[in-house]
Amino acid sequence: MEAFNLPPLLLPFFLFALLQTSTIAAKKSYIVYLGSHSHGLNPSALDQQLATQTHYNLLGSVLGSNEAAKEAIFYSYNRNINGFAAVLDQDVAEDVAKHPDVISVYENKGLKLHTTRSWNFLGVENDGGVPSNSLWNLSNFGESTIIGNIDSGVWPESKSFSDEGYGPIPKRWKGNCEGGSNFGCNRKLIGARYFNKGYISVVKPKPLNSSYETTRDDDGHGTHTLSTAGGNFVDGASFFGNGNGTAKGGSPKARVAAYKVCWPPALYGSCFMADIVAGFEAAISDGVDVLSVSLGALPLEYSDDLMAVVSFHAVKNGITVVCSGGNFGPIEKSVTNFAPWMITVAASTIDRLFTTYVVLGNKMRLKGESLSNQILLANKFYPLIRSLDAKFNNTPPNDAQTCAKGSLDPKKVKGKIVVCVNLGDPVEMSHVVAQAGAVGIILVNYEDIGDGLLPAAHLLPAAHISYTDRKSIEQYIQSTKSPMASITPVKTELGIKPAPIMASFSSRGPSVIEPLILKPDITAPGVNILAAFSNEVSPTGSPFDKRRVQYNVLSGTSMSCPHISGIVGLLKTLYPKWSSAALRSAIMTTAETKANDLNPILNSEKQKVNPLAYGAGHVQPNKAADPGLVYDLSTQDYLNFLCAHGYNKTLMKLFTNDTSFVCLNSFKITDLNYPSISINYLKSEVVEVKRRVTNVGSPGTYVAQIEAPPGVSVSVDPSTLKFTKTGEEKDFKVVLKKVSNNQMDGYVFGKLVWSDGKHSVSSPIFVSLTKQ
């Protein structure tokens, strides 16, 4: 395996992880991982008791007594995942790691949710990406599918989780409603569980009250993501009148289950790994079909990434795991949750804006975005001032520019519209401005952010404008002694072109651990997504905001992930016997790489982006329902991938307890039957890539069409595939060679498309011509 080289711009996050490790006292909580249980997927109560007893025995052998082990262990994973979580001294944890039955010991670290309220984290109407034509009869389609959400819980009273018109809960469901007091499930929201012991073992919150004993959502994130994946139809949903329409999740008739593993943010995170493992184990045992996971951490080697390990358990049991790709963009190599058995989702915009205009005294109109529900008097202009010119005399310029708390002189601000540089929490900035007596705020981008916009639910009239338009405002202010401006009310604008645009925050590939697997896999709507919300918290999450909403607008790969989860739910209903790999293939090979203006997908700077941003492209649900061919994978294939990745017998025990498994020595990583092709460093030699497709449509003949990456020759053998029946498989190989006298370097991209005249089965090709 190559050394783990972290991109320089991710170093602050890496240093945070080091801080987390070094500042906690010697007694910490750990997850002791033992692999899988031998009792199978449906253990009896006795099986579970015996498994827990083995955990007590193991730890007791190190601590000196089973009584001490029982006191230390706070989770016994005794159903599918084999292991336990316990509070231990570091030297004890090291001794436990030496036990012959222990495969690995992980520190119980915190992860974070992948949502953002600002571009500065260093995008269809409100329909969850659901297809709209007659291919899907969504009013009664998908009740047999169960989508689980690993997140911050759910607001069960939301109309998005109404069970009106639903039939009985599927008999195969084994889950429970353990939501805490005053919490109810129904035939739509069929399961709820909460897991807090990992969080409590690290954070030690005080007071430890009933708010930690509920699946009820206290920050809105879990309600938003779960309703995006599987929320029911709700007419008249809007955010203060904006985005008004029928809300529905990606699979609106699916059953849903909430697994709360995230709690109030603390220094070390909010979603702790011991709780996440418990959530995964419960979801596997309960019988979900899809797991939506909108959280993550830094990129880690698969063996060090317990999320990857427990996701493998889920996939082995027939569950499709869909994960957010991270909000560390546009930094290269920042994508996370990139194991090949996961579906990794990027975020892009939809064809809707929440538009407002800044009208200057010289009649210039600058287009911005906002979600403020406050308006100024019509046709009235107000004095305009830069925050830098409105500061107290002793305020540092940087604090004033970003409208930091206590930086603005109310005497200079009162009754005016203030221009602030958008660096930090935009709602906090607007609160500072309002407290100082201003009537409105204009948030302007700094140069590095450019022209990307992200509206927020400000508490006073507000507009967020681009860096380009910032220069126009500054020129105007300098041109007159009495600058004036107004801000128009927010309006919902539909049919925006071009769309989608890649979100600036969306993490980019290639994978820092294994660039031979192209990640992310797919992009989906993740900017300004309207979905259900918790009544426990304000739409901004700020303590000074006393408003409450039933539906809120959020952005992040947290929002794009459940779009794909919902679409997987629909496909799972159509094709219940398909593997998670086949479902992913259908989504990837039918994706679109052009926007609605028929030009290539761009970023917010109007620059063309590539598969390192969007994977195979933007999801097309209707086409995914009829992909023609799929690239399938089995558990054995993933195990062979890990062997080829360099794992020895010890590391392989993380993923399989099957002593009969033997690595296939001839297997190469490039031969993993993935729906994309990646070559990390193409030198002068010829590289041959093997693939196999399965016909899932009618008989037909497919012809290969190649769009070769610049500087690379690509051929396919055979170039024609004839299928006589459904389920038939065909092998082919792709041969790539660097063109002689090639002057290209860096990353280049192409495409392989199999077409029968009806279906276009497309795979992106990514080639690095430079050593990474």
Active site residues: 151, 221, 558
Give how far the C-alpha of residue 451 lies from the chain's centroid of Cα atoms, to the nearest Å: 23
Do residues 602 and 502 touch, judged by C-beta distance below 8 A?
A: yes
Do residues 125 and 525 touch, judged by C-beta distance below 8 A?
A: no
The stretches of 270-408 forming alpha helices (DSSP H) are 273-286, 306-316, 397-401
Give the span between the Cα atoms of 593 and 598, in whole angstroms: 9
Helices 45-63 and 90-97: crossing angle, nearest 10°? 120
CA distances from 701 to 581, 622, 634, 704, 730 (A): 23, 22, 26, 10, 11
Per-residue buried b or exposed e for 724-758, using 16+ beta carbons within 10 Å of the residue's own CB: eeeeeebebebebbbeeebeeeebbbbbbbbbbee
Using a 10 angstrom Cβ sphere, with 0-12 exposed, 13-18 middle and 19 or more buried, the burial of residue 648 is: exposed
Do residues 352 and 492 touch, judged by C-beta distance below 8 A?
A: yes
Helices 580-589 and 557-574: crossing angle, nearest 10°? 110
Do residues 634 and 613 touch, judged by C-beta distance below 8 A?
A: no
Q: Which two tokens stand for residue 463?
A: 């507009």
Do residues 31 and 87 touch, judged by C-beta distance below 8 A?
A: no
CA distances from 723 to 693, 698, 759 (A): 10, 8, 13
β-bridge pairing 255-260 and 146-151? parallel
Beta strands in 208-325 (DSSP E): 234-239, 242-247, 255-260, 262-266, 269-272, 290-293, 295-296, 320-324
Q: Which two tokens stand for residue 247?
A: 């809300």
Q: Which residue has the tokens 């009985």?
A: 168
Do residues 239 and 539 touch, judged by C-beta distance below 8 A?
A: yes
Do residues 16 and 328 touch, judged by C-beta distance below 8 A?
A: no
Neighbour count for residue 434 (Cβ, 10 Å): 21
